[in-house]
Amino acid sequence: MVNSNDMLKKLYIFLPIVIFFHTSCVENIIFIQLYPDGQTYLKFISTGDSTDINDQDFRHPFIDNITGNSSSHITKTDSVWTIITEAIYKDSIFVFQPEYSLGFNFIKSEKNTSLSSIYNFNIEFIGRQIKDNYPLLYEALLNNKLDSLKWLPEALTIIINQALIDLENDTTKYNFNTSRARLVNHFKSSFARIKTFEDLKAIQENRLEYIITTLKPFKIDNQLCIELAERMKRHEDYLKSSLDLKDDSFIIKLLLPGEILSTNSMSMDKDTLVWKFGLDSLLNENYLLSSTSVVYSKKKIQKTSILVVCLLLIFGIVLAGKQKKI
């Protein structure tokens, strides 16, 4: 019987889309505190080995643009690396959508009433669209069968199609003189013949030659084959980043002002809301975390109470005066 870990290592070595599988993992902790003045404190902590920490599946916001309101540093203990990034963010909307890494957005709002201030905070992690774009890969992930090659021809066919669409949209690059559907079907038939790791190795070691040979019946210029290989790599890198998330875990901790009114958090640690998730929550749709809290103003309550008492006194005086006249 073939060892599953050995098969994964072979996949890493030979796959033309360079999918990366780890036996180790990265723990990502994101702590967010919303201050009553509207500012947001963010702290990102990622812990793992050096390879995991420096890959592209989840990069800390601000790390590439450190300012006076942010900082980042790396520590190492034995083989364990830790990156910590902190920032103070003032705007009500934050958008972080890198090209390959996991992205997320958050929006916060404050509504003042006569007696309180209500705070809404929503953070949304961007789904990786694996279920929609790679159905067989999605099934392999759900069933923990990534060591099978059954999903590979479909994934490669989809990547070829996406790369050709990119070239179609760039009129200065696309000049194949044949339909995209015909080219995709031709590649699909070729990918369907991938049965062994030796087949994969041959493609990996002769990638551009494989594309040129496959497209030879269509008399495609070699420069266009180079362009196609480059466009494929963009989609491959995104898929690689998505699959690298397989061994990442995320813990989100949120501290809002006041008392919690509503939330979809999984648990609460004292006054801090906690969510825990991994790639299984990001396989397709966006993953939304939401919470609402309220801060009651003692001064506003006191003023309102005094106003109510005064109104009652006035009403009582007026009512007493009317009764005397009667």
E strand or H helix at 271 = none
Q: Which residues on adjacent β-strands are paired with residue 80?
A: 77
In a domain, 197, yes or no: yes
298: region left, alpha or beta (phi > 0 left; psi from -120 to 50 alpha): alpha
Q: Domain check: are 177 and 196 in the same one?
A: yes
Q: Domain check: are 123 and 142 in the same one?
A: no
Q: Domain check: are 110 and 196 in the same one?
A: no
Q: Domain check: are 24 and 64 in the same one?
A: yes
Determine which of 31-35, 114-118, 184-188, 263-267 has the lowest per-residue pLDDT on average: 114-118
User: Does the structure show a pLDDT above 90 at 34?
Assistant: yes
In a domain, 23, yes or no: yes
The rounded distance, in Å, linking the Cα atoms of 203 and 160 is 14
Domain that holds residue 62: 14-130+247-299
User: Does the structure show a pLDDT above 50 at 2?
Assistant: no
- Per-residue pLDDT band for 1 (boundaries 50, 70, 90) equals very low
Q: Domain check: are 90 and 233 in the same one?
A: no
Q: Domain check: are 136 and 211 in the same one?
A: yes
Q: Domain check: are 126 and 251 in the same one?
A: yes
Q: Domain check: are 19 and 114 in the same one?
A: yes
In a domain, 7, yes or no: no
Within 13 Å, how many C-alpha atoms sit on residue 233's CB side?
9
Q: Domain check: are 167 and 251 in the same one?
A: no
Q: Domain check: are 122 and 258 in the same one?
A: yes
- Per-residue pLDDT band for 21 (boundaries 50, 70, 90) equals very low
Domain count, the chain: 2
* Distance set, CA 10 to CA 2, 4, 15, 201 (Å): 11, 10, 8, 9
Per residue in 209-225, pLDDT (tens digit) is 999 999 999 988 888 88
- Per-residue pLDDT band for 285 (boundaries 50, 70, 90) equals very high
